[in-house]
Homo-oligomer: A and B are copies of this chain.
C-alpha cells in the first residue's frame, strides 16, 4: 500500500522562509490567531489525519466505488466515519468566518491542508471539498436568511454542498442550459431539469445536501446572460433549520468513471424541486464564477497532492528495487544489483516529480497568499493588486499543475516499471485520479483561453505586466549576485520573451481572433514554466542564504532541484515559444470533412 508523509519540512520552507507567512498572517485582521505555533500544530494534525484516517481508505474506496440503491447513495466503507471525525475535528470551518461558526483562520492555511487531503484520498476529499464553493457562493451572494439557514450548516460540515452546472448537452457552454425555474407563489421557485457530472451529488456522509443550481427563469434572456443561481436543498429545512421534507431532487444514476471511484458522480434529476434564488435574476453566471475560481485553485491543488504522493512512493521504490548495475560501475557491490535510483533516467523521472511538486507547492502558497489578501487585506491598493495577480494565476494553477500533475503521476508508474500497471501498488490509481483534474472545472483548453484571451489580452497585457514587473524587479535586484546567475540570467531572458510572445499573439489576433485559441495552450504551459522558474530562483536565493547552518543537506537539495528544473525542464519553453510563434494557419487549413479522408469510405 502506498505510504505518505505530509511534506511539512518543505511546506515550512515555502511558508516561513520563502514567502514570510508569519509576517503575512500578522497583517491580516484576526491573523494574531495564526501564530507560527498554531499554524505548525494545525499542519501537523492535518498531516496525521490525512495519513492515518484518509490514506487507508484510498485504495479500498477505489475498489469498492459507490452504490446507488433505492435513490440512496452509499459511499465506500469507512468514508462516513472518516467524515464524522473530520467534522468533529472542526476541519470544515477552519477558514470560515466566526459569525457562521468558523474558526476564522486564513484561507491559505486551508489550502496548505488541502494538499494533504488530495494526496491521500482525492475521492474522499471531494465530499467536503465541494462545500467550499457552495459556501463561498452563499457568503458572497446569498441573502441574510439564506446565510442563516445554509451557511452555518455548511461551515460546520453537517451538511455538504454541490455545484450543479453541467447538463448532458452542455458543460463549457452554459448558455445552452435547459433547466428551468418557475416562480412559485411564496417567492420560491420550482426547478426542473437534469444535471450531470455532479460530484458528491448524493451520499450518506451528511444530514443534508445543499445544491447550488444554475437554471433559467421564464423571462430569461437568451444564452449566458439569462442564467440564474438557485439554492436547492435535498431536504427542505424546517422552522428550526433541521432537515424537513424531502425535496424533488434525486440521483438518477452514478457515472462509471476512469478514476475517483470513491466519489459519487451523479446524474441529478430536478422534478419541480423547490429552490430559492441566490443573488439577482439572470446574474447567476457571475455568482457561479465565485464558486468556480475557488474550485479551480482547488483542482490545481489536487494536481499538486497527487504528484507529491506519487513522488514519495516512487522514491521509496527506486531506493529499494535492485536492478542492473550503474553504467559507471557497481554502486552497491554487496547487493545482487544496484538500487535503480543510481540510474540517471530513473533520477530524471524522480526529479521531474520532485521539481514539479516543490514548484507547484510554491505556486499554490504564493497564490494562497493572494487569496488571503483579496479576502481580508486591509490595504485597498494591495487588495487590487492581489486580485489582478490572482486572476492571472488561477488558470495557471488549475491547468499547469494538473497537466504536469498527470505527467508526474505517470512518471511514478514508469519508475515502477510493469509493477506500476498493477493496482495493488497504488501508482496507477494516482494516474486515473489525476486524469479528471485536466478536465473538470474547465478543461486545460478553457483555462488557456481564460488566461490568454480574458486575463492577458483583454487587459492589453496590463495584467501580465503586474507579474512580469515583479519578476523583473527580482532579477534586477539579484543582477549582481554571482551565485544566482545560473537562475537569474535565464529567468530575465524568459521574462522579457514572455512579454514579446504576448505582443506577437496580440498583434496576430487583431487580424484573426482564432490566433488566440491557436496559441492558448502553449502560451499557458509557457507561462507555467516561467512562473515556476521565478519561484525556483527565489527559492535558490533563500537556500543559498541559509547554507552553512544545521540543515545544509536540505538547502543543497533545494538548490539541486532548482538547477534540475532550470536545466532539464525549463528548456521545454523553447518548444512552446516556437509553437506559439508558428501561429494557427496549420490548425485551420483542413476542413472538418477532410479530417477523415484517411479512413472514411
Contact = CB atoms under 8 A, between A and B. Distances in A.
B421 A257 contact: yes
Given A431-B435, A584-B344, A6 B327 contact: no
Interface in A161-204: 166, 169-173, 176, 197
14 contacts: A10-B598, A173-B337, A257-B421, A259-B421, A315-B596, A328-B514, A344-B584, A347-B587, A349-B445, A414-B438, A421-B435, A421-B439, A572-B575, A573-B575
A477 interface: no
A423 B256 contact: yes
A579 B568 contact: yes
Contact of A9 (B431, B443, B593, B597): B597
Interface string A14-44: 0000000000000000000000000000000
A49 interface: no
Interface stretch (A92-100, A123-131, A368-376, A555-563): A555-563
Contact of A599 (B6, B349, B435, B439): B6
Contacts of A166: 418
Interface stretch (A150-158, A234-242, A378-386, A517-525): A517-525
Given A328-B514, A560-B594, A564-B587, 14 more contacts: A9-B597, A173-B322, A255-B422, A256-B423, A312-B599, A318-B592, A328-B512, A344-B518, A351-B586, A351-B587, A354-B595, A418-B436, A554-B597, A567-B585
Contact of A258 (B170, B423, B515, B601): B423
Given A166-B418, A568-B587, A521 B595 contact: no
A467 to B, nearest CB: 23
A171 B420 CA distance: 13
A590 B324 contact: no
A590 B417 CA distance: 22
Contacts of A435: 410, 413, 421, 428, 431
| Interface magnitude class on chain A | 35 or more
A173 to B, nearest CB: 4
B345 A595 contact: no
A588 interface: yes
| This chain's copy number in the assembly | 2
A444 interface: yes
A358 interface: yes
A-B pairs, 6 with minimum CB distance: A10-B598, A571-B578, A344-B517, A574-B574, A258-B428, A7-B599
B428 A594 contact: no
A87 interface: no
Given A348-B518, A443-B417, A582-B571, A557 B312 contact: no
A417 B444 CA distance: 10
A594 B556 contact: yes
Interface in A454-504: none
Nearest to A596: B315
A567 B578 CA distance: 8
A586 B599 contact: no
A474 B4 CA distance: 54
Contacts of A595: 315, 341, 350, 354, 557
A148 interface: no
Contacts of A171: 323, 417-418
Contacts of A326: 514
A336 to B, nearest CB: 6
